[in-house]
């Protein structure tokens, strides 16, 4: 079941300010504490420096991974 989990995002551009304000408040109250205390951790399969983005993309297309493929800032 975990392999088929999808997290989806969307923009709030067309929503009213009241909705956006309420949503931000609920995220701050319910989601942020879970992220801060470390109980939610994404599965990172591999990290690539930004200049190796093509290699990261090849890995992603191969579907030979479980977890996230992350590009990291190669200036650090």
28-57 pLDDT, tens digit per residue, is 999 999 999 999 888 999 999 999 999 999
Q: What is the pLDDT confidence band of residue 3, given thresholds at 50, 70 and 90? A: confident
Average pLDDT over residues 5-20: 87
Q: Which of 54, 35, 39, 47 is nearest to 73 (CA)?
A: 47
Distance CA(49)–CA(75), nearest Å, equals 9
Distance CA(33)–CA(26), nearest Å, equals 11
Sign (positive/negative) of CA torsion 30, 36, 41, 47?
positive
Report the share of the chain in percent with pLDDT over 90.
66
Phi, psi of 46 (to 5 degrees): -160, 150
Q: What is the pLDDT of residue 42?
A: 86
| Between residues 37 and 4, the one the model is more confident about | 37
């Amino acid at each position: 079941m975990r392999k088929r989990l999808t997290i989806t995002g969307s923009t709030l551009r067309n929503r009213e300010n009241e909705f956006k304000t309420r949503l931000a408040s609920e995220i701050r109250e319910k989601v942020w504490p879970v992220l801060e205390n470390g109980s939610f951790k994404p599965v990172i399969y591999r990290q690539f420096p930004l200049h190796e983005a093509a290699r990261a993309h090849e890995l992603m297309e191969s579907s030979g991974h479980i977890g996230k493929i992350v590009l990291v800032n190669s200036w650090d």
